[in-house]
Amino acid sequence: MTETTHDGAEPGPLEQAQRLLFGEHPERAAELCRLALKDAPDDATAHRLLGIAEPVAEEEQKEEIPFLVGQVVEITEGPFSDFSGTVEEVLSDKGKVRVSVSLFGRPTSVELDYLQLKAH
């Protein structure tokens, strides 16, 4: 008589191996997995054993933004080119500068890449 799975199909290699290892006690598979995982190496050890280089945290090289709050700058690129404005805030983590420019006589704050600016 040929063995079948619960759905009537012939068992595949995984089912056959499970039956050979655990017989009629499939709950032993879960116990075996739990025991194997309990003593599993941490990621660093596993990477070392497998010869996998660990990811190295690259330090962000922050470029120094050469502008100061209150400094008058000229916008050299973009839709506001040839406008002058005053630096309101330096956003060094983004590489941007918030500049106040006068549009239709009203101060308007725009955020620009520092490379779009030059000191006045």
The model's pLDDT over 42-73, given as tens digits with 9 standing for 90+, comes to: 777 777 766 777 665 555 556 789 999 999 99
Where in the chain are the domains? Answer: 13-50, 72-119
As a CATH number, domain 72-119 is 2.30.30.30
C-alpha pair distances (Å), 54 with each of 24, 37, 42, 97: 42, 21, 12, 36
The model's pLDDT over 11-36, given as tens digits with 9 standing for 90+, comes to: 677 677 767 777 777 677 677 766 66
Q: Is a pLDDT exceeding 60 seen at residue 113?
A: yes
Model's pTM, two decimal places?
Answer: 0.50
Tell me the pLDDT of the chain averaged across its residues: 80
CB 112 within 8 A of CB 99: yes
